[in-house]
Structure 1
Amino acid sequence: MKQHLKELSLGVAPVFILISILHFTITPVGAELYFKFILSSIFVILGVSIFLYGINVALIPLGKDISSTLVQKGNVKLLLIFGLIIGFAVTVLEPAVLAIIEQLPNNFPFSKNVVLYVTAISVGVFILLSFLTILFKIPIRHTLSVVYGLIIILLILADEQIHSIAVDVGTLTTGSLTVPFFMALGSGIAAVTAKDSEAQSSFGVVALSSLGPIIAILILGVISRWL
């Protein structure tokens, strides 16, 4: 916990110093707003430190234990269903995803709820796909080659205004909550089945989970273009 507090304090310090310099020199923001900024900086340090502590103490070990136990007991179908559901559920609750979807333009061809649930489903599907990649020992480069090839095709076919939205949504699905848990699940499977190191397999899970939403949003772009 102390280490997290130290690291976050060092991370926030440059931003705090820069804004303070600007406030007292060329861009004063007002005493009330500056005071709120000071309080917010303290809350960020404390809150994220507690969050990271909880991630390391409970969430990561839990993810590893669940996935490795299911594989050891031969409950592969249950593991895949679990990956699908957890990928969906965690994405629906991911603050970064909710934030960017709220910023979608009013003329976007699909509702915000449709985009949110399509994104969440795609993450769940690609978590399942990443589990299969580990279980069947398929080299990650082969899977990524196919997925990136599909993305290139969809970029050609989809409405151009969708491109940047798809990439941004895909990037933000790998947030502070999803990344450690997905990596932990991959590590648990890899510890039982994979020849490669746990870390390599874990990063494969994260990579695929971020590509799923890109494909899903681009498919929406293709649909909107041809309807």
Structure 2
Amino acid sequence: MNKKLKEKINDSLSSVLPITAIVMLLGIFVVPMETGTVTLFLNGALLLIIGMGFFQLGAEMSMTPLGEGVGGQIFKSRKLVITIAVCFLMGAIITIAEPDLQVLANQVASIPNQVLILSVAIGVGAFTVAAVLRILFHATLRGLLAVFYAALFLISFLAPADFAAVAFDAGGVTTGPMTVPFIMSLGIGLSAARSDKDGANDSFGLVAICSIGPILAVQMLGIFYHPKDAVYSMVDIPAVVTVQDVVRLFTAEIPHYAKEVMASMMPVLGVFLIFQLLAHKYHRRQIIKMLIGFLYTIIGLILFLTGVNVGFAPVGNLLGSAIAGDSIKWLLVPVGILIGYYIVKAEPAVQVLNLQVESVTNGTITRNAMNKCLSIGVSAAVALSMIRVFTGISIYWILIPGYVLALILTRFVPPIFVGIAFDSGGVASGPMTTTFLLPLAMGACTASGGNVVTDAFGVVALVALAPLIVIQIMGAIYNYKLKKRLVPAEPELLEDDDEIIDLEDE
């Protein structure tokens, strides 16, 4: 097996394994599950692990160099109209292929999949333009974030309440494993082409701005689009008796998801080929490597979506409904805390983020400290999400104070921490949040008689909010330590033969 592919599959295994272990323990001690259901879940988890491994390697081989190439070419062109058109088109096309968004779209029954996906794609495209223009015109990130979030919450009060949680969830899932490598590499390409002292700082923050677009787009969709009320019912897991039944169930769904994946990936591949024809950016060996990367991405997406929708997410929904329908429904809160702790701890992208912060702070903030803080923050976010399922608390009671605190903290931390913190929201709300935590909340909400759209959705949004606060708090601590180190100590006075000696002068 390819060494790099093996490494990616191991990363995916470390992400999925804790959830699998928790589900198996719940199945033994709390919610007895049929053998067929367990078999479906384990096979779904296996496809999820292999699919994510292929997908992550493919995105790294294809999307990262494509983003850097497009970013560098945009800066060289110096033509504003071309920059806007290319950034909008690329942001929209990459978003359509985002697997986390496709999983979310399948779970929002009140809006047709294509309507939701296209709306979100337009939002990401528009804000990709805004993010790139910020770098080109040297606008400050904290100022733009304050303006955009203020506008966002003002518009949210005009949109139907049913769209609030879904809109903020869309912002979290859009910055997923497909979109983030491209957008971040786009920023790296732009800042490298700029080659000035602020270039490195400005390479952070693109994901932060792009994640606002989907929220705004779905809210606008709620104002102008009036879907029929959808009924969310318990998930019906097919009865399987033999291993052959399990294989037949998965293989029957593969052509359907293969068709979806090919439809979403062909535009991305087309953009790559057109870009190469026009810019002649990549040599022959790079082209072959990137084409292999696209193939890996397609294979990974097909396996990922099949595993999630057939075996993984349905069991999460089943567990949530079984726990909430019993007298032990509040057990869902500690279960959520446990899952939240391990989800962020095992997320490969989070480990990359932690190394990044350790490097930026020259070891003042270690990766272990970052791991603990992020795990605590995400656990608290998941706990709040589960409490919302049973109490029906409006998501605004959590989101508005949370974002206000995050924006206030931007005034007290170095600019680079602002970019890293707001970029990391999408990193923390990885595939496990969409594929397991959201179905778990939906199942619990359905069983307890709550409103799924307003009470269950919002899990991804709250998980994405936690790093914004936690990382900036770590940045404030780093800033305080740095200032303390730079401030000269008070002069100490010593008396020696009746002469006062200033140690500082000495």
- With the shorter chain as reference, the TM-score category is 0.7 to 0.9
In structure 2, relative to structure 1, the CA distance for the partners of 1:41 and 1:156 (3 Å cut) is closer
In structure 2, relative to structure 1, the CA distance for the partners of 1:22 and 1:50 (3 Å cut) is same
| Among 195, 198, 216, the residue aligned to 1:196 | 198
- Counterpart mapping for 1:119-158 below 5 A: 119-158=120-159
User: Between the two proteins, what is the percent identity of the paired residues?
Assistant: 29
Partner of 1:41: 45
Amino acid at match of 2:27: H
| Among 82, 91, 109, the residue aligned to 1:78 | 82
In structure 2, relative to structure 1, the CA distance for the partners of 1:36 and 1:186 (3 Å cut) is same
Q: CA deviation at 1:224?
A: 6.4
In structure 2, relative to structure 1, the CA distance for the partners of 1:82 and 1:12 (3 Å cut) is same
- Counterpart mapping for 1:34-113 below 5 A: 34-106=38-110, 113=114
Deviations 1:97-134 (A, max 9, x none): 2333344354x6xx654443222111101101111000
Q: CA deviation at 1:162?
A: 2.2
Q: Does the CA contact (< 8 Å) of 1:68 and 1:192 recur in 2?
A: yes
Q: CA deviation at 1:223?
A: 4.5
Q: CA deviation at 1:20?
A: 2.5
Moved more, 142-151 or 128-137: 142-151
Partner of 2:12: 8
Q: Please, which runs of 5 or more residues in structure 2 have no aligned partner?
A: 227-506
Q: CA deviation at 1:19?
A: 2.4
Amino acid at match of 1:130: A
Q: Does the CA contact (< 8 Å) of 2:97 and 2:178 recur in 1?
A: no
TM-score by length of 1: 0.84
Q: CA deviation at 1:84?
A: 0.4
Q: Please, which runs of 5 or more residues in structure 1 have no aligned partner?
A: none
Q: Secondary structure at the match of 1:203?
A: coil
In structure 2, relative to structure 1, the CA distance for the partners of 1:113 and 1:36 (3 Å cut) is closer
In structure 2, relative to structure 1, the CA distance for the partners of 1:212 and 1:47 (3 Å cut) is same
In structure 2, relative to structure 1, the CA distance for the partners of 1:64 and 1:163 (3 Å cut) is same
Q: CA deviation at 1:188?
A: 0.7
- Counterpart mapping for 1:174-213 below 5 A: 174-193=175-194, 195-198=197-200, 200-213=201-214
Q: CA deviation at 1:10?
A: 2.3
Deviations 1:25-64 (A, max 9, x none): 4433222332233333222222211211122233212211
Moved more, 33-42 or 148-157: 33-42
RMSD of aligned C-alpha atoms? 2.5
In structure 2, relative to structure 1, the CA distance for the partners of 1:27 and 1:206 (3 Å cut) is same
In structure 2, relative to structure 1, the CA distance for the partners of 1:214 and 1:72 (3 Å cut) is same
Q: CA deviation at 1:160?
A: 2.3
In structure 2, relative to structure 1, the CA distance for the partners of 1:152 and 1:3 (3 Å cut) is same
Q: CA deviation at 1:170?
A: 1.8
Q: Secondary structure at the match of 1:175?
A: coil
Q: Does the CA contact (< 8 Å) of 2:87 and 2:129 recur in 1?
A: yes
- Larger fraction in helix: 1
Aligned residues: 221
Q: Distance in 2 between matches of 1:155 and 1:26?
A: 40
Partner of 1:118: 119
Deviations 1:57-87 (A, max 9, x none): 3321221122113312435533321110111
Moved more, 113-122 or 123-132: 113-122
Q: Does the CA contact (< 8 Å) of 2:100 and 2:173 recur in 1?
A: yes
Amino acid at match of 1:45: I
Q: Distance in 2 between matches of 1:31 and 1:95?
A: 29
TM-score by length of 2: 0.40
In structure 2, relative to structure 1, the CA distance for the partners of 1:112 and 1:42 (3 Å cut) is closer
Q: Distance in 2 between matches of 1:15 and 1:99?
A: 18
Moved more, 182-191 or 48-57: 48-57
Partner of 1:220: 221
